[in-house]
Every structure is written in C-alpha cells, then in structure tokens.
Structure 1
Amino acid sequence: MSPDLELVHTRQDESFRAWVHDYPHTVAKWHFHPEYEVHVIRESSGKFFVGDFIGDFAPGNLVLTGSNLPHNWISDSGNSAEVPSRDLVLQFSREAVERMVSAFAELSPVLVLLDQASRGLQFPDRLGLAIVPVMQELSTAHGARRVSLLMSILDQLIGCADRKLLAGPSYDVNAQRYMSSSINQVLSYIQQNLSGNLRETDVIELSGMSVSTFTRFFKRHTGCTFVQYQNRLRLNEACELLMCTDLSVTDVCYRVGFNNVSNFNRQFLALKGMPPSRFRALHRLNEAPAQVNRAAA
C-alpha cells in the first residue's frame, strides 16, 4: 500500500513544529514526509509500522523517523475508541538542523543521529516516558523556551546508546515512488497552487478521474471535500499571516487565495470561533506579557 504524503506546516517565525494530536486523527495513517520526526506515545498500546518493520507499542514508545520514511501507529482499539493526546510529535527539516550546527559546532552529533535515523530508530520506553512532559511543554512553548526544550530532547536522544534500527537494510526509501500515487500528486498540486485561482475541475483533470470517482477518492483519503480541504489550508496560512505580519485582514484574505472578504470572514469564524481581527488581537494580547518581560530585563 502506497503511503500518503503529509504536508508539515511550520510557521514562518519558527524553525520546527511541535504538537499533540488525538487518536483517531487525519495524520494517523500510513504516511511519510521529508521532515524528520520524533514521535512519542503517551497513551494506549498497539502495533506500529516503520518502513518494513512491524512492532508492538505501549506508553513511552519513542521513535525517530528519517526523511520520507513511511510510518504509522495503530492502537488496539482501532478507530472505535478515542485516545485524547495520544501522540506527541516533533518535526524538523535537515536544513534547520544544519543551520543550528553551523551556529553551534557542539550540535554536530545531531547530524550523525539523523543519518542513523534513515531506517528509523527506536529508543527505550523509559526514555520516552521521561521525555513525555518535555514534549508536552514544547507543544505550547514560545520563543527561547522552545529552543531550550528542543536541545534537551536532542541531547537525551544523542546520549542514549540503547537504540534499535527498525526498517531492514534493503528497505527502499524512495519518495518519488510514493509521490507517483494519485493522492500525493493531487495534494502536492493543491499546496503549490493554493494562493492562486485553484479550481476543483483542474485537480480532477490532473487526477484523470471522473467527478464522482474523484469526490469519493478525495473524501476517503482526506476525510473532507475538496473545498473544505482547500479552505482549511488557506485558513491555516491566514492564521500565520495574522500572527506574524501586519498585513490587513483584507490583504490576508487575498494573499491566501480567497477572492471575497465576506466569505473569508465567514469561513474563519466557522473554523476558529471568532473573526480574523479578534484572532489577531488575542494573539497580540498573548504576546504582550513576553514583550513586557523582555523590556523589564
């Protein structure tokens, strides 16, 4: 079965992504991405898959996956029961790490670790359990605290000699082979043309499917319609622009691909429970204490 491509969204003012997700979740499936991933299981047990490796997992399961290495965790409950905050995830590119190493030579062992992770690395559950609170804090941390927590996690991974390679030596990590599948071509095309005049008919033509077949196909792989998926990506980009730039709400609307401000406001309200202007105001209110503390220092 061909893995699906996950598009990892890292904010413009951050160099890596750290987050928590429940189970089931749209990314809890057989998938891959160019970014490296530190993955910790907080709750539940089941089977996990990395390349051609299949193993058992329990709370504390700690794995580092290499670039474009397919992976998935399936809880014993299947999709019949929810597991809140099951997965703690840290994702970063090799380029981001290389920039860190160029600034701090002491971090060069991280590159050795990443090279070893090309087939996936599993660490002892006891280390995973110890890292859980650090990963949990990292998912909501800001500024220099994020970097401090990241360094702590990487230091513990580097210092742990008890690590196990997962995928076999002959396993072929070939992203181009995965990308040949229809869903990955479709998702990549949507991402690349998101801010333009992206029409569903163009995507259907790219897929070579009939309208009805594409509709079923897209819903099965993404859990939503084409328009819902497109709007979700555009609104995610809008949130970043509202948080990280001084662009007006109108400019943000057109920058992310909406062509109607009223529709943009309505869609934003439905997703975030507040209008864009309120979202920006609350974000700046949230940032104010940090600015006060820096000024006082």
Structure 2
Amino acid sequence: MKIMHEQLSFQGNNSFNIKWDDFPHFTFPWHFHSEFELVYVIQSFGRRFVADHTENFSNGDLVLIGPNLPHYWKNDEVFHKNDPDYKVNAIVVHFPADFFEQQLESYPEFLAIKKLLKRAARGIQFPKTTTSRLDKKLRQLLKLSGMELTLAFLSLLNELAQEKDWKQLASESYQPDLKNWTGTRMDKVMHLVNTNYRQQIKLDDIATEIGMNASAFSRYFKEKTGKSFIRFINEMRIGYACKLLQENRMNIADIGFESGFNNLSNFNRCFKSIVAQSPQHYRKHFLEKHF
C-alpha cells in the first residue's frame, strides 16, 4: 500500500486541532504526518493499522499516535453500503511534535506527560475502562477554546499518562521506511496553502511561486499528498467551516464566505461531497450530540 504524507494545518492561533468526525466511513488512506494524533472512536468498527500492528477496533477505541508513525482506520464493508445505521463518530486531536517542548524537558510536573509522548512513538491503545472514565472530558474539548481548551487538554494528557493498563502497538523491531517529504519546495507550498486557503488561491499562482509549470506542479502535489490540489484546498476550507459550524455563532452563508467559497451553492455542494451531509444537518447533529 502506497503511503501518503498528510500535511496538517492549524487554524488561527490554535496550538492544536480538535475535530468531530461524522462520516459514513473512514476515508483517509495509509498515511503519516509530523504531528501527534489522538483518536477516540465513539461509534464505528473495523480494522486499525498502526505501523506493523493491526487489530479490530470498535466503539470506545482510544489510540495515541506519535509523529511520522503510519496509520490507517478501515471500516468493515457494511459501512460502504449507504446504510444510515452505520457511520463514524469520532473525536480527533492533532498537536505538534514540539507541543510544550520546553516544559516537558524542564519541569518535573510534566514528566509523566513526557513519558507518555515518548511511548506514543510506537502508538498506544488505552483500555475501554479508560475511555468510559474520560468520555465526558474528551467530548468537553469540542466545546472549549483558548486557554480553557489548552488547560483541559493538558489535564486529559496527564490522566492518560497516569494510566497503567495501556498497550504498545508497533513492535520494538519496527523501523519506519519513510520517504523524505520535508524538502524546502513542499515546505514552501504548504506555507502558501496554509496562509491563503481562505482566499481565492489558484494552482497556477502556487506553481509560479515555486518555479514549476501548472501541469508539473499538479502531478508533484498529487504525488506528495495523495490528493489533487483543488481537493486538498477544499478539504482545508471545509475543515475550517466545520469548526465555525460547531461554534454556532455565524449563519451558513457567512461561514461559506469566511471559509473561502465564493457562493453559497458551491459551499453547500463541496461540503456535502466531503462530509456527506449538508452544513445545516452537520450543525444540527453536532449540537444535538454535544449540547
């Protein structure tokens, strides 16, 4: 299976991303990224792949993945038959590899979290007794922002760090065989994308910025990310729109324009293509679940 390097973005001044997944099935392929990832599966089942480890997953699955560790969640076939009774509900948190790096290295209060993140280099699964106990705290993250969110997340990491009954996923002998994706050209592309995706960004303009013609850049971008440039931009915009919908402070039309779409019908069409439901239904479903 060809591995893909996912390029993540962090909106605004946030130090980490927290998102609510509400999809018919997991869609992301075999991939890795330079950030930590915490995945809490509330509703779904199938097969989970982390490096050289694979096993079944189901409701209540909680896993912490370290930077550059390949992973993939694959739903059972029943999730691909458009049956509304089978869907994915999950909370996913991404945070950078240097998250509170100075504190982790310098202060004894952070020692347990430091050890937790070190273990995450091979992936950690927590027992369902832990997820039952922390379910409310995990869901609460979706409702918070700013310093309240940061403190709540640190508290959650500290509780996970105290857990004794955890399981290492990748074997001790596992050695990642990852292509070097961090060249300066792709770094520049991602900087341009991350700072301009809410504007009318054009493939031709990005290609010119890095000294490539449009067709060559299109092939290069697809090779590096596994997605077309347009699809990648639209997924970033829709991800930002989901965050605004969750906050429930703006109307649908304003959220579409704020996220980078030039008209409401284009926003609705793109949102439904990526999320498999309308923005109105997404907001209604999220608020019913969490408020």
Category of TM-score, reference length = shorter chain: 0.5 to 0.7
Q: Residue 236 and residue 39 in structure 1: after superposition, are their counterparts in 2 closer, same or farther (change >3 A)?
A: closer
* Structure 1 stretch displaced more, 19-28 or 49-58: 19-28
Counterpart residue identity of residue 79, structure 1: H
Q: Is the Cα contact below 8 Å between 2:112 and 2:162 reproduced in 1? A: no
Counterpart-to-counterpart distance in 2, 1:96 and 1:207 = 33
Distance 1:188 1:84 in 2: 35
Aligned counterparts of 1:271 and 1:2: Cα–Cα separation in 2: 31
Report if the CA contact (8 A) 1:51-1:71 is conserved.
Answer: yes
Aligned counterparts of 1:189 and 1:80: Cα–Cα separation in 2: 40
SS at match of 1:95: coil
Maintained 8 Å contact 1:6/1:31? yes
Equivalent pairs counted in the alignment come to: 238
Q: Distance in 2 between matches of 1:237 and 1:202?
A: 29
**Number of the residue aligned with 2:206:** 198
The aligned residue for residue 96 of structure 1 is 99
Give, as a single letter, the amino acid of the residue that structure 2 aligns with 1:17. N
TM-score normalised to structure 1 length: 0.66
Q: For residue 293 of structure 1, what is the aligned residue in structure 2? A: none
| One-letter identity of the residue aligned with 1:144 | M
- Residues 105-137 of structure 1, C-alpha deviations (whole Å, 9 max, x = no match): 411221111111111111101212332332222
Larger radius of gyration: 1
Partner of 2:73: 73
Cα deviation for residue 190 of structure 1 reads 4.3
CA RMSD of aligned residues (A): 3.8
Partner of 2:40: 40
Counterparts of 1:266 and 1:59, CA distance in 2: 39
Question: 8 Å contact 2:48–2:74 — kept in the other structure?
Answer: yes
Of 107-116 and 75-84, deviating more is 75-84
Shift of the alpha carbon at 1:60?
A: 1.1
Pick closer, same or farther for the CA change 1:26–1:100 going to 2, 3 Å: farther
Supply the AA of the counterpart residue of 2:267: L
Q: Which residue of 1 aligns with 2:53?
A: 53
Q: State how far apart, in whole Å, the 2-side matches of 1:34 and 1:119 are.
A: 14
> Which stretches in structure 2 are left out of the alignment for 5+ residues?
244-256, 270-291
**2:240 pairs with 1:266:** no
Q: Contact 2:104/2:111 (CA < 8 Å) preserved in 1?
A: yes
C-alpha separation between the residues in 2 aligned to 1:141 and 1:20?
13
| Separation in structure 1 between the aligned mates of residue 66 and residue 261 of structure 2, nearest angstrom | 39
Q: Distance in 1 between matches of 2:241 and 2:136?
A: 30
Aligned counterparts, 1:163-178, within 5 A: 163-176=166-179
CA contact (8 A) 2:25 2:80 kept: no
Instruction: Decide whether the 8 Å contact of 1:190 with 1:230 is kept in 2.
Output: no
1:70: how far off?
A: 0.9
SS in 2 for 1:122: strand
Instruction: Output one character per residue of 1:155-201: Cα deviation in whole Å (capped at 9) or x when no partner.
Output: 22111111111111222224435x49xxx999767424435822497
Q: CA deviation at 1:79?
A: 2.7
Counterparts of residues 248-263 of structure 1 (less than 5 Å): none
Question: CA separation in 2, counterparts of 1:186 and 1:148?
Answer: 36
Equivalent runs, 1:3-152 vs 2, <5 Å:
3-24=3-24, 28-76=28-76, 77-81=78-82, 83-84=86-87, 86-101=89-104, 105-152=108-155
Whether 1:157 aligns to 2:153 is no
The percent of aligned pairs where both chains have the same amino acid is 25
Cα distance in 2 for partners of 1:25, 1:229 equals 19
**CA shift for structure 1 position 233:** 4.2
Verify the 8 A CA contact 1:19 1:90 in the aligned structure 2: yes
Partner Cα distance (1:49, 1:118) in 2 = 15
